[in-house]
Amino acid sequence: MTTLKELLAQQAELAKRIEEVRKAEVAGAIEQVKAIIEEYELTVEDIFPQKRITSTSAPKTPKEKGVAKYQSRIDPNLTWTGRGRKPEWVVTFLGNGGTLEELQIKSN
């Protein structure tokens, strides 16, 4: 029966052989690529074209958050713009008989 020590030695030897074969194959692949590039007179731009920025892929500016229209009576840090889903605190308030008008932030 083979021991753990022997198996680990075999593993190390196999890893070394794998790396040697990989290096040799990569070198061969590079030579093939160079030959094709030379044969067809390819440029870097031919192989790796720069991506054009289109309106759909252009970086978008972050959207600004809307102005809060509603505020919790219990915790003034809880606000809601009135857009999108109602936050849980609004749903709870309305479920207890309150109205959105009661939560509206009064402007001075």
Domain residue limits at 13: 4-47
Tens-place pLDDT, residues 33-81: 999 999 999 999 998 888 776 666 666 777 777 899 999 988 989 999 9
Rounded distance, CA 80 to CA 67, Å?
A: 8
Query: Model pTM?
Result: 0.42
* Closest C-alpha among 75, 80, 74 to residue 105: 80
Model pLDDT, residue 12: 96
Coil, strand or helix at 72: coil
Q: What phi-psi label fits residue 78: left (phi over 0), alpha (psi between -120 and 50 degrees) or beta?
A: beta
**Count of other CB atoms within 10 angstroms of residue 32:** 9
Is 37 a member of any domain?
A: yes
Residue 84 has pLDDT above 80, yes or no: yes
User: Average per-residue pLDDT in the chain?
Assistant: 90
Domains of the chain: total: 2
Is 55 a member of any domain?
A: no
Tens-place pLDDT, residues 5-38: 999 999 999 999 999 999 999 999 999 999 999 9
Is 19 a member of any domain?
A: yes
Model pLDDT, residue 54: 64
